[in-house]
Amino acid sequence: MAKKNTPSKRQLELRLSGQLFEIPPLWDVLLIGRHAPIGPEAARRMAESLAPGQFTLLRVEKGPVEALLVRKNLLQALEPKALEEVLLEELAPLLSEEQVVRAQVEVVLHTGRVIRLD
């Protein structure tokens, strides 16, 4: 006996996400490779023209990354050396000296406290 044709069930799932638009449309950090098409000073000037006073340039001594262009407000939460160490440890192995990579850094504070109830 043949089965009765039933209409197919079709669904459309729509996922949306939104994010605050920031000027300039850079992320929090640019990792600038030693042989990238844009050098550290040119990247700094570009950021300065788009967002005066919001970025600082951190030079890197060795490895594929020559410099980090960092949003200054990140350095209020983290010491420059600590941020540099994390970025280089996690991201530098993934890029070549010819690349410029943008990174988003989210600073989240987790805290807990025990209150004594006497």
Residue-wise pLDDT tens digits, 60-95: 998 999 999 999 999 998 899 999 999 999 998 888
Q: What is the dihedral of CA 30, 36, 41, 43, to 10 degrees?
A: -40
7 found inside a domain? no
4 found inside a domain? no
Count the domains in the chain.
1
99 found inside a domain? yes
Closest by CA position to 47, among listed 24, 22, 21, 20:
24
Model pTM greater than 0.85? no
What is the domain extent for residue 45? 29-103
20 found inside a domain? no
116 found inside a domain? no
The string of pLDDT tens digits covering residues 14-51 is 777 665 555 555 689 999 999 999 999 999 999 999 88
115 found inside a domain? no
96 found inside a domain? yes
